Amino acid sequence: MDDILNPPLIWLGNRCFRKNNEMEYTVRSGYTGEVDDYQDDDYAVEDEEQEFKHVLEEYAGGFRAKLQVSSNFFPQIIGKGGQIKIRLEKETGTKINIPRKGMEGDIVVSGSQKPNVIRCCNRLDVIVVSARQKHGFTHFISLPVNSSQMQEAFHQFKKEVLDTCSDSRGVEESIFQTSTLLHLTVGTMVLMDNRERELARDILQDCKERIIIPDHGESPFKVEISGLEIMNDDPGEVDVLYGQVKQAGNLQQFAERIVDRFVEAGLMKRDYDRIKFHVTLMNTLFRKDKNDVGDANEPGNRESFDARTILNLYSDRRFTDVEISEIHLSQRRAGRRSAEGYYLPSTILSITTCG
Give me the mean pLDDT over the 288-301 stretch: 54
pLDDT range class, residue 344, cuts 50, 70, 90: very high
pLDDT at 6 over 70: no
CATH number of the domain located at residue range(s) 9-133 in this protein: 3.30.1370.10
Please choose, from the candidates 321, 211, 226, 355, the residue with its C-alpha nearest in 3D space to the C-alpha of residue 281: 226
Residues linked to residue 17 through DSSP beta bridges, in sequence order? 10
Which pLDDT tens digit goes with each residue over 55-89? 999 999 899 999 999 999 999 999 999 999 999 99
Task: Say whether pLDDT at 342 is over 90.
Answer: yes
Residue 2 has a pLDDT of 52
Average pLDDT over residues 320-331: 95
Predicted local confidence at residue 291, as pLDDT = 52
Please check whether residue 283 is in contact with residue 240, taking contact to mean a CB–CB distance below 8 angstroms.
Answer: yes
Write out the chain in H/E/C secondary structure: CCCCCCCCEEEECCEEEECCCCCCCCCCCCCCCCCCCCCHHHCCCCCHHHHCCCCEEEECCEEEEEECCCHHHHHHHHCHHHHHHHHHHHHHCCEEECCCCCCCCCEEEEECCHHHHHHHHHHHHHHHHHHHHCCCCCEEEEEECCCHHHHHHHHHHHHHHHHHCCCCCCCCHHHECCHHHCEEEEEEECCCCHHHHHHHHHHHHHHHHHHHHHHHCCCCEEEEEEEEEECCCCCCCECEEEEEEECCCCHHHHHHHHHHHHHHCCCCCCCCCCCCCEEEEEEHHHHCCCCCCCCCCCCCCCCCECCHHHHHHHCCCEEEEEEECEEEEEECCCCCECCCCCECEEEEEECCCCC
Banded pLDDT at 227 (limits 50, 70, 90)? very high
Q: Tell me: the pLDDT tens digits for 25-61?
A: 343 333 344 444 444 444 444 577 777 888 999 999 8
**pLDDT at residue 43 in the model:** 45
Rounded to the nearest angstrom, the gap between the alpha carbon of residue 204 and the centroid of all alpha carbons in its chain is: 14
Q: Check pLDDT > 70 for residue 257.
A: yes
Instruction: Burial-class residue 271 by CB neighbours within 10 Å (0-12, 13-18, 19+).
Output: exposed
pLDDT greater than 90 at residue 246:
no
Beta bridge partners of 11: 16
pLDDT of residue 152: 98
Span 137-162, pLDDT tens digits? 999 999 999 999 999 999 999 999 99
Mean pLDDT of the chain: 85
CB 67 within 8 A of CB 121: yes
pLDDT of residue 49: 78
What integer is the mean pLDDT of 3-24? 59
pLDDT for residue 338 is more than 80 = yes
pLDDT confidence bin for 24, thresholds 50/70/90 = very low
Residue 26, pLDDT score: 42
Between 302 and 107, where is the model more confident? Answer: 107
Bridge partners of 246? Answer: 224
Q: Spell out the residues 6+ positions from residue 327 whose beta carbon is closer than 8 angstroms to its own.
A: 141, 142, 143, 186, 204, 208, 258, 348, 349, 351
> What are the residue boundaries of the structural domains of the chain, listed by start?
9-133, 139-350
How many C-beta neighbours within 10 Å does residue 94 have?
Answer: 25
Q: Which CATH class is domain 139-350?
A: alpha beta
Q: Kindly indicate the confidence band of residue 270, based on its pLDDT and cuts at 50, 70 and 90.
A: confident
pLDDT greater at residue 102 or residue 54: 54
**CATH topology identical between 9-133 and 139-350:** no
